Amino acid sequence: MFKLKLLAMAAALSLSATGAFAQSNAGLQEYVEACASCHGLTGQGDGPLAEYMTAEVPDLTRLAMENDGTFPMLYVIMVIDGRTGIRGHGSEMPVWGSRYQAEMEPETGEYGAELLIRGRILALAEHIQAIQQ
């Protein structure tokens, strides 16, 4: 099962890198699994857990609008990863880079895990870019 997911993620990453499709299904899947519970299915900060957060859950569909019309891709990647010290909306935002690493490293080793982590985060960031208003 893990090898199948690994192949699917590698394919999504290579297609995404070549611009073969606008929105990665891998990114949508990552979003639904990792983000929708707080940010909502549409990214507007209205997920079922948002009301329980002590920090405001941001509307992800307005990131470009709030950044003079430019989607802040690198910033979004760094916030999702969380291992660089840039954290999203207080301490409530999970450090997905560490979570993905713990999940994958036993199967793939340090370098293989890092490649997959970056692919998953990129796919997720591209999905967030695709839902901008």
pLDDT of residue 95: 85
Residue listed under structure tokens 């430019």:
70
pTM (2 d.p.): 0.76
How far is Cα 90 from Cα 55, in angstroms, rounded to an integer?
A: 6
Q: What is the mean pLDDT of residues 103-117?
A: 86
Of the listed ranges 8-12, 30-34, 54-58, 100-104, the one predicted with least confidence: 8-12
Give the residue from 103, 83, 101 showing the smallest Cα distance to 93: 83
C-alpha dist (Å) from residue 7 to 3, 14, 57, 89? 6, 11, 33, 33
Q: How confident is the model at residue 24 (pLDDT cuts 50, 70, 90)?
A: low
Nearby residues of 31 by Cβ (< 8 Å), 6 or more positions away: 43, 124, 127, 128
Percent of all residues in the chain with a pLDDT value above 90, rounded to a whole number: 55
Look at residue 15 and give its three-state secondary structure: helix
